[in-house]
Amino acid sequence: MSAVNKFTTPSTKKLRREKTTLSNHSDSEKDSVHVYCRIRPLADSSDSSNYLKVLAPDTLALTTPDVKAIRKEIHYKFKHIFTSYSSQSEVFTHIAYPLLQDLLNGKNGLLFSYGVTGSGKTYTLNGDQNDPGIMPRCIDTIFNSLGDYQAPKYVIKSDKMNGFEIQSDDDAYYDTLHAVKNSAKPLVRKTNGEKKSYYNDGTIITNINENSLFSVFISYVEIYNNNVYDLLDESSEKSLQNKILREDCRKNMYVNGVVEIEVKSAEEAFELFNVGQTRKKMASTNLNEGSSRSHSIFNIRVVQLEQGAINTNGQPMIPTENNIKVGQLSLVDLAGSERTNRTNNTGVRLKEASSINNSLMSLRTCLEILRENQINKNNRLVPYRDSRLTFLFKRYFEGDGTIKMIVCINPSVNDFEENLQVLKFAEMTQDVKITKAEVNRYTPLKKTIIKNKENQTPHRLLKTALTPFTLLPEVPFVKLNIDNIDECRSAIEKVVKVLKFRKSKGKNIDKEIEEKQQELRKKLVNMDQQCILNNAELKSLKVLIHKEKQKSQNLQVKMNDLEVANQDIQMKNEELEDVIRSLKNTINEKDLKLNQHVLDRQRTKQQLALANEKMTHELDQKLRRQRDHLNAAMKAKDDKLKMVRGILDSETPPAEMNCIELNMDLPNIKSMGSQVTQTSKNVANACRRNVKPAARSRRSKSAGEVWLEHNVIKPCPLNTVMQPTMKKRKSVSRLDKASDITNPKQSKYCLVAQEPDTDGEIETKLYKADILPTCGGGAQVIFNDVEKLTQESPTKT
């Protein structure tokens, strides 16, 4: 039978909202959690210590290390054990294929992958392109099986409250047009990069209902740091928003506002999975380069719609009754448990590891309490709300679906302690019995029955109560008239008829009374049995209460002992505080002594500084006296030299001063500043020896000339009355380029230099020169005069 591509609806019907209902899962009352084991191949053959051995397809032996020369071998039972040579196809066939059969029949399934970091959980669920895992094989198998039995898109739509609604053809067509008008690209097209596909082996499920149409919906969420995030949510581009958990009308938990997308092919589902994978929290640790930092949950929901009657056009109509079945398969990739001493996590990674371990501990606590309640027939409250993980899958633990778990083991020596804890948890988990829920798919009639039960007037009892009890007719009172024999005869006949009727009815009444007596007896027997059971239960409860009282008394005794120990600790603490106070006082005394020592050292330093000042002052006075003596000797020599110079001047005829010419090109200009002091001294000495100074009348000619003032250093301000006269001048500190000399507007050059004389006074010297142009376009500087500006004290001796 092939599915049609379009529904037809009556003209009076626009939209029918139908709540999803969950079908009955199993006829058995209880079903244990199915736990499987898969052993990962060793990456390094030298790392194996052979502490794990597979004894049978369902038995695993673990040998503990030597402790006081004693080795212990522990056996663990599983539903099935997959060795390192088992293929992905074998794992899928044993575990996931039965879940898919239930899924297409409207039943729920939950599959966990549990183990330490790096044990192969994610690979078992996802696999790779050439060797796909459970998730890709599930998607391929679903679409291989459905084929042409899929309903048209947008006919079945999520109502955002964990349910679905059936739309008419017009509304579905309107949704399609609305998406096209708004240019709403599907979410699967927003992935960057190449599309990821998986190998399809063509597996199908044959026992599907061919009289139904199916729609497949995908959602992908993660639980990170005990917060729920939607990995397919495109509303927030920067960061994912935290989602809350809510309860629907059937007391089932769901993620509020989760994005649930209808897919029509395996490729669309894979693209959605790839989008979620890019947003999933992953990080590198010391134990695993690509470690999952959150619990990821990939949900596949298959909505099954039974076809209605066939209209005149040969197309099925939307059914008039609620015939929707919804099956859900949740594939949960649990984050691996970690030990801080091995991963050395800090900061954000440490917080993530703590959250992961807390959520796994909450899962273990819930399963332990469920197991304890079943063994001891207790009614302890299971703490589902301690973690978002357990709270979300609460309905599965209460019997609404099949639970399976894959325990992944890495047989490395370093993971021995972690594997031991994982195996203990697996052993405890498979002992938990899940009580199957009753049929929870309600038709209008069943809803009426439930309403009657709530009002404590069941339909059957109501019908019995309305049936009146049949009474026998009364015997008529007859007076016999002997005179009228006919009248007496007719009256006697009436009495006989009434008696016969009463006799016939009496038998029926006796039978009815016996039946009522038997029913009453059965009820009394049942009540007696119930009373006996209640009494036994009361006795067991009293025993439990007595045990609890003993426990509370023991705890009270322990509390008293702990209080006494606490008082002893407080007394020891006070004694230690007294010791601390005495030690602090000792430390303070030593600090005072140290401070006194420091003060003494400072005083010694001050005394040494005063002594140094006195010695420095005395040395300065000695140096000053020696300097004065040397200055007097130098002055006497200068007087003698002046006398000799005067004699020589009187004997030598006057001559013009021969000046030294300096040819200045660009390389010499750059180095002249560093040599000008020595050059100026040589020029002054040469002029002093050979010629008389020229007439000072040349100063009057400088009024209309442009001077190039070259300050080798920044000169100190001249406080003399006589100042050099340069009305038009250009001041430079360095001669970096030839244009500074070859400027045709400049005709004079003045080099300013300052140096101390023999008496320590600052003497300013002005080396004056003429700038003459050369034939090659350069300039020639000819020094012709030296002026000295100095000051002397009139009282100087």
Does 118 count as an annotated binding residue?
A: yes
Task: Let me know: does 228 contact 220? Beta carbons within 8 Å.
Answer: no
CA distance 91 to 102: 17
Cβ(59)–Cβ(77) below 8 Å? yes
Distances (CA, A) of 301 to 103, 135, 324: 8, 13, 13
User: CA of 701: how far to CAs of 687, 768, 782, 785, in Å?
Assistant: 22, 13, 17, 14
As a three-state string, the secondary structure of 111-136 is EEEEEECCCCHHHHHHECCCCECHHH
Q: How far is CA 792 from the centre of its chain?
A: 85
The strand pairing partners of 32, in sequence order, are 433
Distance CA 181, CA 635 (A): 111
DSSP-derived letter for residue 652 is: S
Rounded-to-integer distance, Cα 24 and Cα 45, Å? 49
Q: State residue 204 phi and psi, 5-degree precision.
A: -135, 165
Cβ atoms 472, 505 nearer than 8 A: yes
- How far apart CA 326 and CA 93 sit, in angstroms, is 23
Query: Structure tokens of 507?
Result: 């038998």
Alpha-helical segments (H) within 344-472 = 348-376, 388-392, 394-397, 416-429, 444-454, 459-466
Q: Please, how many CA atoms are within 13 Å of residue 561, restricted to the half-sphere of its CB?
A: 6
Residue 115 is labelled as binding a ligand: yes
SS3 category, 736: coil
Q: Is 725 annotated as a binding residue?
A: no
121 is in an annotated binding site: yes
Q: Are strands 706-711 and 748-756 parallel, antiparallel or unpaired?
A: parallel
Cα–Cα distance for residue pair 657/693, rounded to 1 Å = 7
Q: How far apart are CA 50 and CA 411, in angstroms?
A: 8
746 in Cβ contact with 702 (< 8 Å): no
Cα separation, 309 vs 276, whole angstroms: 41
Report how far apart, in Å, the C-alpha atoms of 507 and of each of 164, 468, 470, 474 are. Answer: 60, 18, 13, 16
117 a known binding residue?
A: yes
Backbone region of residue 220 per phi and psi (left: phi > 0; alpha: psi in -120 to 50; beta: other values): beta
Among 134, 391, 148, which Cα is nearest to 273's? 134
Cα distance between residue 325 and residue 613, in whole Å:
106
Q: What is the DSSP letter of 96?
A: I
Q: Has 777 been labeled as part of a binding site?
A: no
Q: Residue 290, annotated ligand binder?
A: no
* 127 strand-pairing partners: 132
116 is in an annotated binding site: yes
Helix (H, G, I), strand (E, B) or coil at 214: strand
Q: Residues in the chain, how many?
A: 797
Gap between the Cα atoms of 162 and 246, Å rounded:
9
Of 391, 287, 409, nearest in space to 349 by CA:
287
Contact (CB, 8 A) for 448 and 83 = no
Give residues with Cβ within 8 angstroms of 378, minimum separation 6. Answer: 372, 544
- Note whether 56 and 407 are within 8 A (CB): no
User: DSSP 3-state assignment of 599?
Assistant: helix
Q: How many CA atoms lie within 13 A of 84 on its CB side?
A: 12
Classify the phi-psi angles of 495: left when phi > 0, otherwise alpha if psi is within -120 to 50, otherwise beta: alpha
CA distance 458 to 465: 11
Binding residues: 115-122
| Residues annotated within a binding site for ATP | 115-122
